[in-house]
Amino acid sequence: MDNLLIFLNPIQLQAVTHRGSPFLVLAGAGSGKTRVVTTRVAHLIDQGDAKPDEILAVTFTNKAATEMRVRVDSLIGERAGSAAAARVWIHTFHAFCARLLRREIGHIPGRESEFVIATQADQLAILKRLVGPGEGPGALKPTDVLTVIERAKHNLVGPEEFPAHTAHEKRLKAFYESYQTELLDSGALDYADLILVTVKLFREYPEVLQRWRSRFKHILVDEYQDTNAAQHELIRALASGSDGLAVVGDPDQSIYRWRGADPTNILRVTEDFENVHIITLLENYRSTQTILKAANSLISHNPRPLGLERDLWTRGEEGEKISVYAGSDEYDESGWIATEIFRSVNTEKKSNYADYAILYRTNDQSRVLEDALRKRSIPYTIIAGSRFYDRREIRDLLAYLRLIVNPNDVLSFRRIINVPSRGVGKISVDRVMEEIERNPTALFDTVRRCVEEELIPPRARRAVFNLMDLLDELTTIREPVDKLLEMLLERVDYTSWLQKAGDAVSRLENVEEFVDTAHDFISSNPDGTLEEFLEEVSLAAPIDDFDETAGSVSLLTLHAAKGLEFPIVFITGIEEGLVPLKYKGSSRDEEVEEERRLFFVGLTRARYKVYLTRALRRNLEGRKVWTKPSPFLKELPTSLLTDHSVHNLTMFATSQDLLAVEHEQEREKAKKAAPAYSIGDRVWHDKWGRGIILSRAGDGDSLKLTVKFARHGIKKLVAKFANLQKM
C-alpha cells in the first residue's frame, strides 16, 4: 500500500481516495478528520489529480490551518518538494476571502486593494460614536447593535436590504448604514464583510467567479457544521458543477448558532450538489470507552439528522469512571479542584500541570478558580481570553502601520493624532476630524490643509505638521516590517510615553512581544510585506496563542475548547442555568440542543479522565442563589460515575440536603466549643461572682443552667451567652 495511506483505517481510506463526485464526511470527535483532510490533499498531489495551487482547503482557525500546512508538508515534502505544501491554498474562510479580495475588490466601485481589516475594537469604537454609551432605559448598546449588524451580514443582508418595518428596525437600519459608511470612508472591511463582499463580487461579476471556479479542481472544507449562510453560499458558488468538493463536519459539535452558524448547512450540501457520497467516521482515537459511552448517551437525546448512526467507539481501554463532586458553593468547588490537581501532581506524581484543563460555561466563573489555583501556587494560563492585538498599546502601533498602508484610514488617524500625547487637544482633534469627514478620500491632503489654513492653534499645528512628516517618511520605508516598527517606536518615543502611564511594565512587555512577532514574521516570510503582516495579525484569534508546552493548567470556556484535547478535563458549574445556560429566547428546544452539544464537546476533549463539578450555592449578580443539578447529568449512565462529594452529599443534592448537613455541622461545632458543665461544678460569673451549678437542661446552643450564687441567689442562664468560667 502507498506509504501515504498505511496509517488510515478502511473508512478513512475511502474518504482519502474517493473521486468522481462531491462527498460529505461525518467525522465524530477524535475520529482523525484532520488526518483525513491532510492526507487527501497529499494524495491528490501525489497521484497527479491536482497541482498544489489547484487545491483549496478551508477551516475556521489559524491554529487549525497552520497544523494542516505542517501535516501536508510532512506528508509530501519528500515527494513533491518542500515548497509544494506552501502552494496549497490552506486558509481560514476570512483569510481566503482577504487574499482573494486583494486581487479582485477593485472591480467594485469605491473599493481598493489596500483595504484594512477592522477589528472588533474598531467596530465598537465606530458604534460608540454613532449609538452613544448605551446607558439609560431603552438605550441601545453598541455591542447589541454590532450583534444585529453581524447577524445580518452572516445572512447576506446588507444595509440596503435590512428590514425597517418598525421604529426599532428603522433605528437599527440607520446605524447599520452609518456604520458601513464609516468603514467605507476608512477603506476598511470588518470580518463579516470579507465574506459578504466576496459573495457580492461573485454575484455581480460572473467573470470573477468563473476565474476562481476554474482555479481550484478540489475544495475541502473542515468543520462545516460551523458555517453560516454567507460561508455556505461562498462554497456553493465556488464548487458549483464540480465533483471535487469534500466537506467534513459533525452535527454533534455545532456550537456556534449564537453567532450565525447553521448545522443544517451539512444537509444543504446534499441538496445543493448532485450525487453526494456520504462517509461516516466513528472510530475514536482520543478518549476512553467510559468517556465515549457517557458522551454517546448524552448526545443521543438530540435529534439525528440524516438518520445515520453516530455512536463513537474505540479500541482503547475502558478507562476510569467519571468523577463528580458537589461543593457547598463555588469556593468549595474550586478549592476541591485545585486540591485534586495539586495532590495528583505533587503527592501521587501521576501527572503534570499541563495535563489539566478546567472548562467553564461563562468567563465569570474563572475568577474563583484562579484564586483557588493561586492559593496552592499552581501555574495556570487562561486560553482565548482577551485578544493580544486588542490591547491598547498594540492597537496604537497597528494604527500607525495601517495608515502607512492606507493613507485614507480615518479610524486609525483618529486614534493616533494625539498618541503619544503631542499637544493636540480635543477641540483641535474634533476640528481636524470634521474636515476629514467632509473629504475622507484625501485624508493626508485635508490634514495638511488644516495646518496651512491655520484651522487649529499654533501648538497643535506644529504637532500635526510633524506627525504628517513622520507618516510620509515611514510610508517610503514600509519594509521590512520589523525594522519599520522599531523605527516607528524610536521616532514617536512611544516607550518613554508608556513608562509614564499606569501598568507600564506589562504594557512595555506587550510592545516587546509585538516587536518579536514582527521579527518572527520576517524570519518565516523574508519577502513578507506590511500588508501581509497586518492581515495576519488582524485575522488572528485568541486561541492561536495556545501553547501546549506551557507547563501550566489551562483555563478556558467550553466554546474555546473546541478543537483542542487534554489528558484530564474538569467541567465546572454543571448546574441548571449554566450547563445548560439560561436563555430568554423563544427557541428553547434548539437552545437546549445546542447546550447539550456544547457539553458533548467538553466531554470529548478528554483523553483519559473527566471530572464534573457543581456548586450547591453560587454568587450570581451579587447574591447567593441555590442551584439545581444540570438536567444533562441524568442523561449520563450512573454506572459510569463515581461521586466524591463529602458530608453525605451527592452530585444530585438539593438545597435542603445542604441545609441539613450545615445544621448538623453547626450542632457538632457548638458541642465541641461549649465547656462541659456538670451538676456541682463551681463557676465564676463576671457580674454575680462565685456560684455552684444546681441543674442543667437541653444541649448545645440551647443548654440552660441553674446556678446558685453566694451573694445573688439562684439564677437561670443560657450557657452559650453566660460566659461562665469553671473554677
Q: What ranges in 384-457 are assigned the alpha helix state H?
A: 392-405, 410-416, 426-438, 443-452
DSSP at 326: E
Active site residues: 33-34, 222-223, 253, 605
CA angle 618, 622, 625 (to 5 degrees): 35
User: Among all chains, which residue has been given the C-alpha cell 469556593?
Assistant: 331
Sequence-distant contacts of 140-145: CB under 8 A, at least 24 apart: 140/171, 140/172, 140/175, 145/172, 145/175, 145/176, 145/179
- Identify whether 420 is preceded by a cis peptide bond (ω within 30 of 0): yes
Cell of 241: 458543477
Pick 116-186's CATH classification: 1.10.10.1400, 3.40.630.10, 1.10.10.160, 3.40.50.300.
1.10.10.160
Say whether pLDDT at 673 is over 60.
no
Task: Give the confidence band of 621 by pLDDT, cuts at 50, 70, 90.
Answer: confident
Say whether pLDDT at 629 is over 90.
yes
- Whole-angstrom distance, CA of residue 204 vs CA of residue 75: 40
Per DSSP, the three-state class of 275 is coil
pLDDT at 556: 95
pTM for this prediction:
0.83
Q: What is the CATH number of domain 322-383+549-664?
A: 3.40.50.300
- Whole-angstrom distance, CA of residue 386 vs CA of residue 542: 7
In single-letter form, the type of residue at position 507 comes to R
**pLDDT tens-digit readout, 98-129:** 999 999 999 999 888 889 999 888 999 999 99
Q: How many CB atoms lie under 10 A from the CB of residue 171?
A: 14
User: Among all chains, which residue has been given the C-alpha cell 483532510?
Assistant: 37
- What backbone phi and psi angles, to 5 degrees, belong to 76? -120, 0
Mean pLDDT, to the nearest integer, of 56-63? 92
Q: What is the CATH number of domain 388-539?
A: 1.10.486.10
- Whole-angstrom distance, CA of residue 182 vs CA of residue 188: 8
Q: Which residues contact 698 (CB under 8 A, 6 or more apart)?
A: 704
- Whole-angstrom distance, CA of residue 8 vs CA of residue 14: 9
Report the side by side order of strands in the sheet with 725-726.
713-718, 704-709, 689-697, 682-685, 725-726
User: Among all chains, which residue has been given the C-alpha cell 489529480?
Assistant: 49
Comparing 586 with 476, which gets the higher pLDDT? 476
Task: Give the confidence band of 633 by pLDDT, cuts at 50, 70, 90.
Answer: very high
Say whether pLDDT at 81 is over 90.
no
**pLDDT tens-digit readout, 182-191:** 999 889 999 9
- Whole-angstrom distance, CA of residue 404 vs CA of residue 416: 12
- Whole-angstrom distance, CA of residue 401 vs CA of residue 26: 43
Closest CA to 128 of 140, 118, 116: 140
- What backbone phi and psi angles, to 5 degrees, belong to 726? -75, 140
pLDDT at 78: 63
Mean pLDDT, to the nearest integer, of 356-366? 94
Cell of 634: 441524568
Do 640 and 293 contact (CB within 8 A), yes or no?
yes
- Whole-angstrom distance, CA of residue 248 vs CA of residue 251: 10
Mean residue pLDDT of the chain comes to 89
- At the top level of CATH, the class of 10-100+195-283 is alpha beta
User: Among all chains, which residue has been given the C-alpha cell 482633534?
Assistant: 429
pLDDT at 587: 64
Mean pLDDT, to the nearest integer, of 460-487? 90
Do 25 and 15 contact (CB within 8 A), yes or no?
yes
DSSP at 226: G
- Whole-angstrom distance, CA of residue 449 vs CA of residue 431: 12
Task: Give the confidence band of 136 by pLDDT, cuts at 50, 70, 90.
Answer: low
- Whole-angstrom distance, CA of residue 247 vs CA of residue 58: 10
Beta strands 116-117; 277-281: pairing state: unpaired
- Whole-angstrom distance, CA of residue 52 vs CA of residue 81: 11
User: Among all chains, which residue has been given the C-alpha cell 442523561?
Assistant: 635
- Whole-angstrom distance, CA of residue 163 vs CA of residue 177: 12
Per DSSP, the three-state class of 391 is coil
Per DSSP, the three-state class of 378 is coil
- Whole-angstrom distance, CA of residue 250 vs CA of residue 223: 7
User: Among all chains, which residue has been given the C-alpha cell 506644529?
Assistant: 462
SS3 content of the chain, % helix, strand, coil (to 5): 50, 15, 30
Task: Give the confidence band of 1 by pLDDT, cuts at 50, 70, 90.
Answer: very low
pLDDT at 590: 87
Determine the straight-line distance between the first and last CA of the chain, rounded to whole angstroms. 94
User: Among all chains, which residue has been given the C-alpha cell 473527566?
Assistant: 610
Q: Which residues contact 699 (CB under 8 A, 6 or more apart)?
A: 671
- Whole-angstrom distance, CA of residue 8 vs CA of residue 244: 21
**pLDDT tens-digit readout, 283-329:** 999 999 999 999 999 999 998 766 667 899 999 999 999 999 999 99
| Strands of 348-498, DSSP E | 356-360, 380-382
Say whether pLDDT at 213 is over 80.
yes
**pLDDT tens-digit readout, 384-424:** 766 788 888 999 999 999 999 988 898 899 999 999 998 89
Annotated binding site for ATP: 27-34
Say whether pLDDT at 146 is over 50.
yes
Mean pLDDT, to the nearest integer, of 658-667? 69
Task: Give the confidence band of 3 by pLDDT, cuts at 50, 70, 90.
Answer: confident
Say whether pLDDT at 340 is over 70.
yes
Concatenating the DSSP letter of every residue in 538-574 gives HT--GGGG--TTS-SEEEEETTTTTT--EEEEEE---
